[in-house]
Amino acid sequence: MEIELLFWEGCPSYPEARTLLEEVLATHGIDAQVQMREVRTGNEAEQLAFPGSPTIRIDGQDVDSEGARSRPALTCRIYRRPGGGVSPIPSREQLEAALG
Amino acid sequence: MTVALASEAPPFDLPGTDGRNHSLADYADASWLAVVWSCNHCPYVQAWEGRMKAIQRDYGSRGFRLVAINSNDSDSYPEDSFEEMQARVEREELNFDYLHDEDQSAARAYGPDSTPEVFLFDPDRRLVYHGAIDDSRDEGSVQAQYLRDALDALLAGGEPPLAETAPVGCSVKWRK
């Protein structure tokens, strides 16, 4: 399994996202390294179709397919909660669903 | 350079989403004025926005006003354009003024790093609290309500228990 966490240093949420992701991996006994990839420029954001920080892809699939369609930008990414709230990181449930 | 504690509020005169300009002097009737750096696109702002509304609602009758300022470069972040600000006020029924700092002059004068970031001024317009609204973007996990605690203390004639805290949020998007 290939797990990639793309981040932009200008948004403070990626360490929290990484911690949550590693917790979920440990809970489910998944032995996989999280590959950290920094996105530094607007051009890189375009090239990587990076909709904001953090973006987590598992075997190339974004953990939030709806949010993945947002305009590429160096920004904090919005994750929408089922109840109508928002968060700067994906939920545990989103990560678990994406990990299958 | 961020406004220092006990410093005077720098003046501003900015267009609001209501179609009128709003200056610092226009808020003279407010004993306590919170100038909050804000924007549309940031998930941290969106997570805290309901609490901003609640604070304005709960303290508005006690001489408090909250005014939000968006200084982000809307060329690079079109979600933060003036038109989008107007749409957000309507959609989210914001109960505070939302001002557009297009040339970023107010941001340069106050020196915020983040959105949201609070500058709370006393009746003499001296900075008495600077930082975060509270200690968690997740409302259910809040342990310390910094801005409410500051207001409660000030309204009781005391000093904020914490005068400065570290704001957490999106960076202000400066023009290049």
pTM check: above 0.90: yes
Rounded distance, CA A37 to CA A7, Å?
6
Q: CA dihedral defined by B68, B70, B71, B74, rounded to 10 degrees?
A: -170
pLDDT in tens, A33-42: 999 999 999 9
**Full residue range of the structural domain in which residue A57 is found:** 3-99
The total of structural domains in chain A comes to 1
Q: How far is CA A63 from CA A4, A17, B12, B100, in A?
A: 11, 12, 43, 34
- Determine contact: A76 vs chain B, CB below 8 A: yes
| Contact assignment for A85 to B43 by CB distance below 8 Å | no
Residue of chain A minimizing CA distance to B169: A12
- Determine contact: A15 vs chain B, CB below 8 A: no
CA neighbor of B172 nearest in space, from B66, B37, B13: B37
Q: Which residues contact B29 (CB under 8 A, 6 or more apart)?
A: none
Domains, chain B, ordered by start: 29-171 (3.40.30.10)
**Partners of B99 in the β-ladder:** B16, B69
pLDDT in tens, B96-143: 999 999 999 999 999 999 999 999 999 999 999 999 999 999 999 999
| Contact assignment for B43 to A10 by CB distance below 8 Å | no
Chain A residues inside the 8 Å CB shell of B44:
76, 88
Q: The domain that contains A60 carries what CATH number?
A: 3.40.30
pLDDT in tens, B117-129: 999 999 999 999 9
Rounded distance, CA B31 to CA A70, Å?
42
- Determine contact: B23 vs chain A, CB below 8 A: no
Chain A residues inside the 8 Å CB shell of B42:
75-76
Residue of chain A minimizing CA distance to B76: A73
| Contact assignment for A12 to B137 by CB distance below 8 Å | no
